[in-house]
Structure 1
Amino acid sequence: MKLIDTTGLAAAAAQFAHERDWGPYHSPKNLSMALSVEVAELVEIFQWSTEDESRAVMETGEADHVRQELADIAIYLVQLCNAMKIDLNAAVEAKLAMNARKYPAPDRC
């Protein structure tokens, strides 16, 4: 059973970049830097927030901003995977399996 499927997002991001001839700029270096910037923009939303404020952010005027930054992060991540020929679905499934072995769930008896 597939846990995730980013195939459609990866195809849409690739098509968007292709239509704009952005291929020469989508090196792993540039895409990883852009991804880092977008993550920093998400972090900035929470800067100086308390734990409770951060948990309630989707009930504030920042909710749309959070959604936009998360979308940017997802888009750059799949574009980076496209550029590096990485199957993100397989990588995530393998990592989740590795984490399950490394951090087994406690018995609930």
Structure 2
Amino acid sequence: MDIGEMKQRIELLVEEDVSDGQGGYDSTLVSKGSTWAKVTNIHGGEYFFAAAVHLEKDVSFVIRYRSDISEKWNIKFRNQKYNIQFIDNVKYGDQYLEIKATLAG
């Protein structure tokens, strides 16, 4: 991986219950930070994998490794929300994560 390929800024989001100030809670997306990413559309063999699990408008995000991210999180990229479907710790090297996500609709 050439670190220079990570030139798109993404924001990592998680849905959390936040107090509404009146004793109740509202579910809202909370930012867990932003990071640089390599962003590509899924194609070739990856496309068939995506089709098998019914992903539409599939995107692959490659970011530096973080241990706290999960499939319950979302990604905001170019003002669009993507649902994380699969996270791959590339070669179990704890250096990069490849995240497969689909456009939220």
Q: TM-score, normalised by structure 2?
A: 0.19
Structure having the larger proportion of residues in helix: 1
Bigger radius of gyration among the two: 1
Larger relative contact order, structure 1 or 2 (CA cutoff 8 Å, min sep 6): 1
Q: Which has the higher strand share?
A: 2
